[in-house]
Amino acid sequence: MKRSTLRRSGAAAAVLALSMSLAACGDDSEEPTSGSDDTTSESSAPADDASEDMTEDEAAPAGAGADTFGEGCAAVPTEGDGSFDGMVDDPVATAASANPLLSTLVTAVGEAGLVDTLNSAEALTVFAPTNDAFAAIPEADLNAVLADKELLTSILTYHVVGEQLDPDAVVGTQTSLQGAELTVAGDTEGMTVQDANVICGNIPTANATVYVIDTVMMPPAA
């Protein structure tokens, strides 16, 4: 009778030990699951960081026209030699020759023989009248000016200052290459030069800063 009791007791102990062993195995099997969740969570963080880095790296560069201002800038070509990025590498007369807004000015500069003078200068600020500004001059008068090299040179050099000026520095009284003074007023929200409006300002070229204006200015001596 005692042997039977002992056997039953031994069997019960064995079953209890087996149960505890299985329970322990079950606990061990759950730990990797928790670890897997942590690994997944941690591995997703670098992916997010990489995504943010990629967004920053792939952002488009500002470009040469980033600091220009004025409604007229929308008419400047977005690519090619006449674009902001195209003009920035060329001296000012060459840069203007590629811009379709300034073809009449380029013709006038050529007639006055000022191409080399403008291109070889170290630093200039140029107030560049558009084609429409020249078109506002009666045709007979414009042809007469183009035929008079001395008068044409006086008018064109009145549009140029012998230093490179940004929108803050250009405001005030400036002395033109012609010798007469120019008065620049306003800011990037609206700027004038004498009676002309700046329609696209702060355009960079290799040796000048260009302010496109809507009027051909006449110097006092002209």
pLDDT in tens, 172-201: 999 999 999 999 999 999 999 999 999 999
pLDDT of 52: 44
Distance between start and end Cα atoms, the chain: 138
* Residue 176 φ then ψ, to 5°: -80, 165
pLDDT of 24: 41
Q: Given pLDDT bands bounded at 50, 70 and 90, which one contains residue 81?
A: confident
Q: Quote the CA–CA distance of 71 and 156 in Å, as a whole number.
A: 24
Q: Given pLDDT bands bounded at 50, 70 and 90, which one contains residue 29?
A: very low
Task: Read off the amino acid at residue 196.
Answer: A
Res 30 pLDDT > 80: no
Q: Given pLDDT bands bounded at 50, 70 and 90, which one contains residue 34?
A: very low
pLDDT of 137: 96
Q: Quote the CA–CA distance of 88 and 207 in Å, as a whole number.
A: 9
CB 128 within 8 A of CB 201: no
Res 1 pLDDT > 90: no
Task: Read off the amino acid at residue 126.
Answer: V
* DSSP class of 73: G
Res 82 pLDDT > 60: yes
Q: Quote the CA–CA distance of 105 and 119 in Å, as a whole number.
A: 14
Q: Quote the CA–CA distance of 100 and 80 in Å, as a whole number.
A: 11
pLDDT one-digit tens code per residue, 104-135: 999 999 999 999 999 999 999 999 999 999 99
3 state SS of 36: helix
Q: What percent of the chain has pLDDT over 90?
A: 66
The region of weakest confidence among 20-34, 137-151, 199-213 is 20-34
Q: Where are the beta strands (DSSP E) in the chain?
A: 124-129, 160-161, 172-175, 181-187, 190-193, 196-204, 208-213
Question: Please, what sign has the CA dihedral across residues 189, 195, 200, 203?
Answer: negative
Q: Quote the CA–CA distance of 49 and 32 in Å, as a whole number.
A: 26
CB 128 within 8 A of CB 157: no
